[in-house]
Amino acid sequence: MADKKKRKGEPAAPKPARKKKSEPVTASEPAATAVPTVALPTVDAAELERLLRGDHANPHAILGVHPVIVGGASGVVIRAMTPNADHVEAILEDGTVVELRREAQAMSSLYGAFLPGQSLPLRYRLRFQYDDGATWERDDPYRFLPTLGDVDLHLFNEGTHHEIWKKLGAHLRTIDGVAGASFAVWAPNARRVSVVGDFCAWDGRIFPMRIMGSSGVWELFIPGIGVEALYQFELLTREGAIRVKTDPFATKMQQAPATASIVQAEDAYRWSDTSWMKTRGQLDLVREPMSIYEVHLGSWARVPEEGNRMLSYREIAPRLAEHVNKLGFTHVELMPIMEHPFYGSWGYQVSGYYAPTSRFGTPDDFRFLVDTLHQHGIGVLLDWVPAHFPKDDYALRRFDGTALFEHEDPRLGEHPDWGTLIFNYGRPEVRNFLVANALYWLNEFHADGLRVDAVASMLYLDYSRKAGEWLRNEHGGRENLHAIAFIRQFNEAVRTEAPGCVTVAEESTAWPGVTTPVAEGGLGFTFKWNMGWMHDTLTYFGLDPVHRRFHHDQITFAMLYEYSERFIMPLSHDEVVHLKGSLLAKMPGDEWQRLANLRLLLAYMFTRPGKKLIFMGTELAPWTEWNHDTSLDWHLREQPSRASLESFVSRLATMYRAEPAFWRDDQSWEGFSWIDVADRENSVVSFVRRAGQAHAVVALNLTPLPRERYRIGVPASGRYERLLSTDDPEWGGSGFGRFESVESEPSPFHGYPQSVEVTLPPLSALVLAPAGS
């Protein structure tokens, strides 16, 4: 836990700005007005004792300015509390200086004065003088009304405040002409919460907050706080322990090992993607082309000349946009950019759910990245991790001294595989924290969708647990009913409040209805990662081609369940790490065959139903697996074989986008039919993709043996043009049997009245379409 005075990795906190006693008093600062020596109204002894020992939930009830009657005279009493002050004064709006005297009830730190004839509202500032001759002058936080209303608190407590980030956290604002920052945090089990920071030398006695009724939310407006101020919350637990926590709603955080939250300006960025955002709400991406380039920002590209440093958001923006446009992809998917202390987690252990990681710049710098991609016609998906969070003590873990965001029982609250904690989805405020967080990224940062990590671990109470290590639900089953309700609430919120945005489930089981609408009993995701297709396909392509005829079903089986969900086919980062090898290294044969296999794999992926996702660097075909500590192997572009592959990926993605047959009816059997699924002896499969009357024919030769005079049934008569052959010399292929077009013949085959006779090159995909289509 961080020390209040000086936290690890941080410079010593400066003292508040002060004036020396020797500085002359100006005309606007007259000498202190004598206060009649009348006894101030007494404060309840128990309340005062709690305030002085730092254990009071409503310091505003004592501190600040309050109307009173003393000796029959109406007026107000001003009270201020500060440790170690030698003298305290209140400076009224007209310049009058009133001395606050140490109250007899309080030993040393409570000061007060009665001002007869004054009434509320009363504007004043406080001046504290210290025995070293320094002074500290500031507005009094305890004279301001709450910055949260009852409706906001009610909606939060019932879990339905979809813009709660605008209320909790730190927000710059001006109240009664005074600029400062409001702070609010949910900590229902704390005995006291204070705002600490550079502005008070990290002393929790200076700015205790007030609790807002039974909501569990603590609030305080502190004048004089500005942009980039460092702050945290200091909490007193039920057991009397002090915990120093970062703000769960912080929009910027320090980098480890420092842990402070950082106040940010709001609504300062000027977006230039108006056209994109207007169009977004009108799109149905289920019936649009969608090719996704997955990116880890810290290792996409680096600057070796400057110590291998990572690029900033603003540096990477134009380069990434240019590269993705060149490749012809429709979207990028960013691995988690939410703040995470451990870089090696790749972002999947989040400590700051509302803060883009400051490794690469400010929140507005991240907005610039999204904005730039949008201006280049590229959508942005974000990886989002509501399944678990790390045990870092300065963040969400046991936030107010209790299991607040997580479950108390480790059979529900701890993830055995990752050593992380699981959110308590049954608590309305926790659901609100997460649902609002999803909308925050979509609406505040213009992200176009969220890929939800580890959905299977949320759905099952026994996920990765042995007998006796998990608890059944209320019906005796293993389904996590609270998580299911949360997922449905999340997907409905996105559907209704972020039109045109998509949600994607990384879900690896046979859970039914993942992409079925919530109204029809499903979970409500837009898409689901097809993990079964990925596993079967990579296993198949890893086989020596001589053995592939014995495993033919692995390349065809996925079509049996293709229309049970709306799928994205992922060749993601997970497949090129942890000793799994790169995609190129998975392929059999010599280098030429490996590259041919890789082109064939990608062509198969882009021509079958489902949306597409590849991990960054696939276009470079590195030999080694991904390393998050280094840049992609951009030098491979200098090799003709890799330059050809990058050009091939661009051609493939461009063809996919240009031909509606490959995407318009992904979700329906009307968009796909097998021509021949049974030629296991030759390891050849062929199929038709359709969009209305338009169609394309695809044939895959999955062995290094060319198939000459190979006959394929086709749906139409006439001339068919070659849209793509993965074996063309310009992609590094052999060019064997190359042709530009072929005439169909009235020779029935494969159930069609027409057929074509072609040569299938070795390890190749051939794509044909009717001439002029």
Integer Cα distance of 597 and 575 in angstroms: 16
Residue with tokens 């794509």: 767
Question: Which member of 203, 506, 619, 665 is catalytic?
Answer: 506
For residue 164 the two structure tokens come to 């709660």
The two tokens of residue 573 are 């980062």
CA distances from 410 to 245, 413, 421, 423, 577 (A): 22, 5, 8, 11, 30
**234, 294, 453, 727: the active-site residue:** 453
- Three-state secondary-structure class, residue 208: strand
Cβ-Cβ contacts under 8 Å for 496 (sequence gap 6 or more): none
Residue 647 near residue 661, CB atoms below 8 Å: no
Residue 513's CB: how many other CB atoms inside 10 A? 15
3-state class of 68 per DSSP? strand
Active-site residue, 590 included:
no
Nearest residue to 527 (alpha-carbon basis) of 609, 628, 421: 609
DSSP assignment letter at 423:
B
Amino acid at 443: N
Query: How many H helices and E strands in the chain?
Result: 15, 39
If we measure between CA atoms, which residue out of 648, 575, 653, 561 comes closest to residue 611?
653
Cα separation, 393 vs 244, in Å, equals: 9
Burial of 295 (0-12, 13-18, 19+ CB in 10 A): buried
Strands lying side by side in the sheet with 217-223:
169-175, 178-186, 217-223, 210-211
Burial group, residue 53, by CB count within 10 angstroms (0-12, 13-18, 19+)? exposed
Among 371, 372, 550, 554, residue whose Cα is nearest residue 445: 371
The three-state secondary structure class of 114 is strand
What is the CA angle 683-589-602, rounded to 5?
60
Tokens at 110, concatenated: 């409570």
Judge whether 592 and 315 are in contact, CB under 8 Å.
Answer: no
Q: Distance (Å, rounded) from C-alpha 79 to C-alpha 90?
A: 9
C-alpha 92/C-alpha 95 separation (Å) is 5
Reply yes or no on whether 453 is catalytic. yes
The DSSP element (H or E) to which 292 belongs, if any, is strand 291-295
The residues annotated as belonging to the active site are: 453, 506
